Structure formats: C-alpha cells, structure tokens
Structure 1
Amino acid sequence: MFALPLPAGRACSGSGTVTHPTKEPWMSAPEFSPPSSTLPAATAHAGARVPAAEVRTPGAGLRQILRGPSGLGTAGLYPARHDKPPTPPTPPMAPTPPTSPRRPEPSSAPAEGNPIPGLYHHPVPEPDPVRVDAVSRGIKAWALEEVDLYPEDWEEEFDGFSVARYMVACHPDAPTVDHLMLAARLMVAENAVDDCYCEDHGGSPVGLGGRLLLAHTALDPLHTTREYQPRWAESLHADAPRRAYRSAMEYFLQQASPSQADRFRHDMSRLHMGYLAEAAWAQTDHVPEVWEYLAMRQFNNFRPCPTITDTVGGYELPADLHAQPAMQRVIALAGNATTIVNDLYSYTKELAAPGRHLNLPVVIAEREGADERAAYLKAVEVHNDLMRDFEAEAAALAAACPVPSVLRFLRGVAVWVDGNHYWHQTNTYRYSLPDFW
C-alpha cells in the first residue's frame, strides 16, 4: 500500500540470489507472435518441473470446456465428432531459433538496485525505452490534465513511482502503447486510493469503509432512480481517487470484454476487503497471527494487476477457463508471491514511517518471537515457497489444459510476476534493503 535449500535444477549465483536458468515449454506459448520488432517477445520462464506422475488430468468440468457444447442441436456443429470425446490437443512444438517467440535473455548489463539475497526470482530484460518514454508522458498528461490527480508538490513522488517502467516490464506482449496505458492508469488509480484513503497522504482507517464503497461505484456503477442518479454521478468527481478510478475504468471498458471487466471488478472488491481488514486491525491495535496476515494479504495484494494481462495483451482468456479452480489457484499464488515481494522491498521504508506498519517480517517477529533479521529471512523463505508453488501449479495446469489462450495467459501472469520484482528491485527512489547480510 512484500541460504535456502535449492531443489534439483535450480541454480544459485555467487551473491546468494536464487535464479532459475531453465525454461518450461508452457512459458513459450508458440501460438503467439510478437506484434512488432520493437517489442520484446514475452518472457521464456522457468516453471518448476513437474514429474509425469504428478501432472493433473482435466476434471469433468474442464473436459466439458475443452469438448465444447453438447446436447440436442449441437452435434451439427461438429460433423467430425465421434461418440468418444476427443483427446485435448497436444501443444505444437516450439519453432527453432531464430524464429522462436521466446523473449531474449536478460541483458548482461546490471539492473539498477540490488535484488534481495536468496530471493527466488527471474531477471528480465530492460524495458523498451521508447515505450517507457511514451507511457511516461501519457500517464503524466492523464494524471494532470484529465483527472487532476495530485498537487504540484507531489510531482517528484509521482515521477519516482516510475509507473511506465513498471508496466512496460510487466506487459511486454502489449500490442500498442494504448494497451499499456490501460494498465498504467489503473495502477496509478489504485495507488491514489491506497495513499489518499488508507496511508501516506491523509489516509486513515477511520471511516475507510464508506470511502472505499463510494470509490468502488466508479468501477461498478450505481443503478438507482432518476432522482438520485445525478447526485451519484457528480460524486465521482469529488476527490482524486474517485476521479482516477472513474476515468481509468472508462478507458479499460473500451478494450475489455464484459467478462474481463466483471473479473476486474471482482478482484478490486477483494482488494478493498483486504484494505478494510488491515484498517480494522490498525484501529484495534491487533497484530494478527502469521497465517491471518497471509490471509489478509491474499486480498490486499496485486491480484487486480496480473488478472488483466489478457486485456492488456489484446486477447481474452474465456471466462469459463479463467474460473477453473486450478487457474484461480495459480492467480492467487502469483498475487500472494508478488505481494510478499512488496513487503520485503518496502520493509525499511515502512519501518521509518510513523506508527506501526504491518508487513510479513514484522508479523513473524511479533508472533514467532524472532529477531528482525531472522524474521526477514523467514519471510524470504515464505516468498520462495509461494513462487515455487505458483510455478508448479502453472506447469500442471498448462499440461492439463493446453489451450492457446490458457498457455498465453499463464505466461503473461508469470511475466507480470517477474516484472513486478524488477520494478521493486530497481526503484531505488522508493526502496532500500536492510543490512541483514
């Protein structure tokens, strides 16, 4: 508002930073071709290898989706269909280089900032500077001219957020700058709500629920009587967070399908519920148990960002595939891991701020009686476990459901996870590491 045992196949650099140089086929989704030679293709990721005996087979619901419609009147849609449902298609072999759509390997030039020693992550190439510049100019014009987001003395902080570099790193397959701007506006709007309603710039847990509810109607519009509709519409311009939510959502709806928009609204409801839980604990001066904190962080987390990866990429993961429990678990694990990244990189920033800020190392120290260093290193372990679970579950889902949109979406979420780490590592304006090594 994020010296560990390594499984076989993992490599650890001399600095202690855990990386994973191998690549899984599901991360290369050969059906996708980069839209432009100036845009890096989506990343070739390192998913955890899943033994054949552990790869899950589609359940009844997933088999029905892969099979398509059935019942009276549908047989004519499939003249070649036999009585026995077809076997799900095997993903085609990836083309051989140099035509492979895999993203280039990270450049040898060191990124700004240092990664957390021992943190399991994947390096990414530097974001396309042309796109970064275009998004940077576009998002600042939107913030100043369209939604009047911040006063003049907040300009340095807005620039230091580096949202353009963030979004270009997280969405390398976006077909246009306009698609990247969809993600950038929503990210900035979400941070405006967090800062102005919850935390840094006048935020307070007192009365937060009412403020969040009214702001949420900028995403999920009020349907009321003619008498009261104008008053509600006027309220959407009452403060910077609501102006930003309203405008960002209007742009998003120009590209998103109804199901993609509804999915995003659902995830924003989750986010707001997480805000409220944290606010309630602040009001009662309650330090949750570690598992309770992690439950809150499953809601107060980055999930709304990777969940729109298909909209930003210019395609759609069908709603029935998105709703599959296995896909929901993958998305949840990705959101949880990226949020612990935020806890870890923002640790010193939050310790220096007034009051007590809950983050995973603080909660571990309080509830498990660990010193600051041991609690921080334990939080790194929690992140690494979440990351490996995310990659193993994603690899299993890709094997069970090798549908092109599923493979591309899984890859897009993984790219977002890596881009999120890149931004935290390199944003030295906001973050610095504790002296624990």
Structure 2
Amino acid sequence: MSGTEPFDAVELITTKRDGGALSADRVTWLFEAYLRGVVAEEQMSALAMAIVFRGLNPEELSAWTQAMIDSGTRMDFSAVSAPTADKHSTGGVGDKITLPLAAVVASFGVAVPQLSGRGLGHTGGTLDKLESIPGFRVELTTEEIVQQLREVGAVICAPSTQLAPADRRLYALRDVTGTVESIPLIASSIMSKKIAEGTDSLVLDVKCGTGAFMKTFDDARALAETMVRLGTDAGVATSALITDMSTPLGLTVGNAMEVEESVEVLAGGGPDDVIELTVALARRMLDAAGRPDADPARALADGTAMDTWRAMVRAQGGDPDAALPAPKHTHTVRADTSGMLTRLDALDVGVAAWRLGAGRARKEDPVQAAAGVRLHAKPGETVCAGDPLFTLCTDTPERFDRAEEALRSAVSIGAEDSAASRPLILAAL
C-alpha cells in the first residue's frame, strides 16, 4: 500500500474479523481504492468472508451500499413526466411476472424502468426470456430508455455497466469465493443498483422456498426488512412481499414458453398463481406511484395492458406477432401412480430446465430459447397413473436423461387429505 493512502486494507479486514465496526470514511475509501487497484482482490475476498461471519451493522451497511452507488452513475428520469415505479424479484423458477407486470402498471400512466438480468443456474433471467422474441433488443442507451418511458411507459432492458460498477466487480468475486450467502452483502448488492437506477418507488418480491435463494421464511423476512430499510433511508418508497417459491410459478419454465404464458395472462387468461402475483405486485406499485384507485385486474381483462406490452415490444425492435421458437424435440414424463399431487419441488424443476438448455452454468454460456419444462399438474390436483406430469423441451435430445433424473424426486403423490395448501403471498412489509 502506498504511504499516501489514508487507510490500510489489512486493518479493515482485521477489524471486521474481530467483530469491530467499519467507519463510513473507511468504507468509502475501501471501494474507491478497490476500483483503483490499491485494495487487492484477495484482500476484498478476505473482508467479504469476514462479513459473512460477522455481518454489518445498519450504519456500516448504509455506508457500504452508498459507496457502491457512488462508484458509478445515477440514472435521471426527471425528463419523464410521470411517476416511476420498479419491481425486483430475488429470483425463482417460472418467475415471468416482470413481463405482464410492467405492461399492467404502465397502462395506468406510471413509468416502469425495469432493469433486469440474465439467468444463472436454476433461476431464469428476464432478459433471456425477452430475447426469445424475434428482434427484441435488451441493450439500450440511457437516452433510449428515457424516450421509451415517455412514449410507451415501460421498458425492460439490461442495466448500464456504469450503474454501481463496484457491485458488479464485488459480486463476481463473491461468486467464486463462497461469500454470496450473506444478507448484508445480498441486500447491498440489490439495493445499490436499484437506488442508483433512480426510480421513485420500488416493490420487492422476496422469494422463499426450495427454488429460492432464501430457503426459510425467517431468512427471507430478514432480507426483505434489510432491503426495505436501505431503500427507505435512501429516499425511495420501498415495500416488499414475501412469496412462495416451493412450487414453480405458472405452468412453464423456460424462455420462449414463459413469454407465451405471459402473453396469455395479458390476454386475460393464464395460470391463477401468475395472475394473483401480477395483480398483487401491480397494486403495490400503483399505490406507491399515487394511483391507489387503479385496478390492475381490469387492465388485464380489457386489453389495455396488452396494448402497452405490444407497444413496448415494438419499441425495442421486437415483433409481437412473430412466432416464438419451438423445440426440436420433446419428451413426456408420466405419473407412476394415482392420487393427489401434494408436492412439486421448484428446485428440481428448475434444475431440469437448466439441464435441458434453458439456463446457464456460467454467465457467458448460451441458452436455448425453446428449452424448458411444461407442467401438466400442480399441487392439489388429482392425477392418474400414466397421466403426463411434465413435457421436456430441448433442441438437444441427449439432455433428456439428465433432466429426467432431476425430476425423479420432484413430485409426491398421495391421498387427497394429505395435500397441504401454502399461500402464494406469505407476508407483506
């Protein structure tokens, strides 16, 4: 370390290792020096591991988040003559809610700048889904985003690399050093980008269950409370729903097929759970944006949300009337016995879709637009031996065996009175 530096990375590491607190000026220096190369990758890794074990108190977490925000640019939507609202999901299986939700909320005159990501592992990515639409562009300039918000009201695109770049670099480091699983680090990673995005209000969809990052309700609630506090303290009207991810959302898991299902919802149909969560999150967003009397269910029923969706797709270069990619090969998995489907494990289904080509193991891996899993029954429904449970879809049939292997423990079939009902929305903050 240069003698001109005001602080020492080793001192920060040992302070946190021993349970001490990092002052705001030390945290500010840490990220600035990290981006300059003064703080080495191994030093940041060591500090991240210390935080996994010791945590960050509210003052440290606020400074940590602010430093990541300040490492890049902030978006400015002052030229958009409408309130802005955004939603963030912590990720799950079959979670296509962003697609109909953005269109629903925008149809009431609220601007929705939805900066989304790609899938990794068993969780799907919104950008991967949208890129299955012929011609759809997810890489937009800030000027294009603002113009589209003014003209259409909704945009779903990739975030700029200048948005919280310190988080981008730190996340890549955490991913390879076993330091992802820390509520303070997760919360600051999400909220630094969302606060820098510059939206007026934010609704968080914190998933809980086997297919979610947070497996237990207590962990999901702790993460939700932490993120709501960070957003509120930064002047963003922030609220959260904790929602179930023990079972996949809807009846499709895969990129093109999830777009297809989203369009069904926008046309006034689609699975009940996708409709329920879309409407619940839309009500939260509309209320935060000053539209408490707006009825999102009506926007789905009367076609106004569909009109906004089609306008958004066209604005981003896509063709809303084009046929979506279809798989070259399919394979049906059938029930071995008769009874009520009492469990359908989200993680197992997500892994199967991933193995079929719908997801990626590394960020640079390609995905198959038509790959995935169609579900033919959900918990609470009765099936007979031989009935189809899953249709596996892929362009590479050699993937079927490994995908079917992931589904062997995905379902439980039992007596009708053994089906335990779990609500979709577990809590609201």
**Which TM-score band applies after superposition, normalised by the shorter structure?**
under 0.3
Q: Which has the higher contact order (CA 8 A, sep 6+)?
A: 1
**TM-score with structure 1 setting the length:** 0.27
**TM-score with structure 2 setting the length:** 0.27
**Which structure is higher in strand share?**
2
